[in-house]
Amino acid sequence: MKVHLLRDGDFGRIVLDRPPANTILQPVFADSGQLSSFLADPDLRGVIVSGAGRHFCGGADIEALRLGLLDPDRLAAALDSGKTLLRLLADSTVPVVAAIRGQCLGAGLEIALSCHLRVAAESALLGFPESTLGLIPGLGGTVGDGDRVDRRARTDLLLTGRMVGAEEARSMGLVDRVVPAGDVNSAAEALLRAWTKDRSPGLVRILLEAMRNARRLPREDALRLETRLFIQAALEAKQ
């Protein structure tokens, strides 16, 4: 798979590109150094993740995955590295929105759930079909770190392997907004603009860093760092 890291004015775009369904050949689907540098650009106000063509991402290429099982240790290391890529998105201090059209399955759904927000086309299909193939999600789909999918819904999706439409996905917490297919990208951009309007990129990053600390650190450590970040924001606002 090719992953394009593009600038579009003050927004960035991450485009998954492997036609026709943008399936992932290996867990390490992007260069972690390039992705980290891209997200760290101080002038970036937000990022939209999308798929080239009709689909967001149809999940892992199953044949390539089964070949990887010939070397379990190497595959395990690759899966851990793939999870690191998703952690870069989840912990990003620039807001990241997934713009979902068509298929968003398996690893594709794991990518989408690592974003801060998800906008889906009315015709989108989402799910974890791995169990129908004798597998389980391998990039964090069983853990759900930080997303809003409740335990009941996650259990249903994981055990049945069924695909759900956008409206049901919204009721489960998989997506946040449902719009016509032609409006997905513009709706994602509108959300980013609403989040960042009249706020400096630096302030947005400070806010998201404080929230990230709350998820990752013991409460007292997160509160102590919040104080430091408050002072940083106040000093920057004074300048």
Q: Give the phi and the psi of residue 41 in degrees, each rounded to 5.
A: -55, 120
Q: Which of 63, 110, 168, 236 is catalytic?
A: 110
Per-residue exposure over 74-84, b if at least 16 CB sit within 10 Å of its own CB, e if not:
ebeebbeebbe
**Which residues, in sequence order, are CB contacts of 72 under 8 Å at separation 6+?**
none
Q: Which of 130, 168, 189, 226 is catalytic?
A: 130
DSSP 8-state assignment for residue 127:
E
d(CA 153, CA 7): 36
Pair 6, 15: CB distance under 8 Å: yes
Active site residue 130: yes
d(CA 178, CA 121): 6
DSSP 8-state assignment for residue 146:
T
Give the three-state DSSP class for 16: strand
**Which residues, in sequence order, are CB contacts of 161 under 8 Å at separation 6+?**
127, 128, 129, 130, 131, 132, 133
Q: Give me the count of residues in the chain.
A: 239
Give the three-state DSSP class for 125: strand
**Which positions are catalytic?**
110, 130
